[in-house]
Structure 1
Amino acid sequence: MPLGGLQHYTIEPQNLERTREFYCDVLGLENGDRPPLDFPGYWLYSGGQATVHLMGTRKPRDGIVVRGTERTYQDTGRLDHIAFAATDVDGVRKRLQASNVKFREQIVPRTGDTQIFLYDPDGIGVELNFPKT
């Protein structure tokens, strides 16, 4: 059974609104249609695909594992980072600087592509990959 492309990843942020603002206002994802689920959240779209799901607090029920309320967000466990294909490196750089988002930039050896690395409000690594122009 071959796997297809990645459909989405889900974040359970400390502050749902702050994280939505970061992904929409800073990274440019679009808040879009989400089924009427019984807990708060957002589906954020990139290129018409609901790529990032933000999940608010859920109530425990059969078959659903809900993390305890004593959560800490000092690291993201085994998840190191998530990567996006991106365009307009100069525009993104300016947008990050205008939002006071710290980032690191590097050129990929051999390909010459530009990568920008940053962290979301919960410390999840985000990598933006820009093809060499």
Structure 2
Amino acid sequence: MQLDHATIVTAELDTARRFFVDVVGLTDGARPPFSIDGNWLYANGRPVIHLVDATVPALAGNSAPRIDHIAFRLESTGEWQALLGRLQAADMPYQLAEVPRMGPQQAELQLFVALAPGVVVEFVTALRHVHHAQL
């Protein structure tokens, strides 16, 4: 099993699209002609992020279905450095959290970006891919 895609419903459609294209490095791609606005964003030829325009505001005091966050794994030092460079160029704030080693699982570093209220994107990599100056 593998992650197919994540759908993010947001009133900030263009902001989310710019983040995923300009910072994350996904590409805009074909999307079926649905009756509601949105974007499909691709990685390695696959649509992995579906952005959908939020047309109905959430009612105060009611829970709305949502995804807490989505996570992308970066497999190399080069990928991690490139992401950090794009985040800095976009002046995008983020938070880091270290995941300690557990048994055979290596220590990892998580990077969290609060894209919009209720929309958090995580990037994770093995701690060995991170320069100590970044911690």
Name the residue aligned to 1:71. 58
Looking at structure 2, the residues matched to 90 and 72 of structure 1 have their Cα atoms a distance apart, in angstroms, of 41
Contact persistence 2:58–2:64 (CA under 8 A): no
Pairing 1:89–2:84 present = no
Of residues 22, 46, 50, the one that matches 2:47 is 50
TM-score if structure 2 supplies the norm length?
0.74
Q: CA RMSD in A?
A: 2.5
Count, aligned residues: 119
Looking at structure 1, the residues matched to 3 and 34 of structure 2 have their Cα atoms a distance apart, in angstroms, of 22
TM-score if structure 1 supplies the norm length?
0.75
Which structure has more strand as a fraction of its residues? 2
How has the CA–CA distance of structure 1 residues 90 and 76 changed in structure 2, closer, same or farther, with 3 Å as cutoff?
farther
Pairing 1:28–2:28 present = no
Segments of 5+ residues of structure 2 without an aligned counterpart are 130-135
Looking at structure 1, the residues matched to 24 and 17 of structure 2 have their Cα atoms a distance apart, in angstroms, of 10
Segments of 5+ residues of structure 1 without an aligned counterpart are 59-67
Looking at structure 1, the residues matched to 54 and 95 of structure 2 have their Cα atoms a distance apart, in angstroms, of 32
Pairing 1:7–2:33 present = no
SS of equivalent to 1:12: strand
Contact persistence 1:42–1:55 (CA under 8 A): yes
Which structure has more helix as a fraction of its residues? 2
Contact persistence 2:10–2:54 (CA under 8 A): no
Looking at structure 2, the residues matched to 72 and 89 of structure 1 have their Cα atoms a distance apart, in angstroms, of 39
How has the CA–CA distance of structure 1 residues 93 and 76 changed in structure 2, closer, same or farther, with 3 Å as cutoff?
farther
- Identity over the aligned pairs, expressed in percent? 34
- Code of the residue aligned with 1:93 in structure 2: it is L
Contact persistence 1:8–1:53 (CA under 8 A): yes
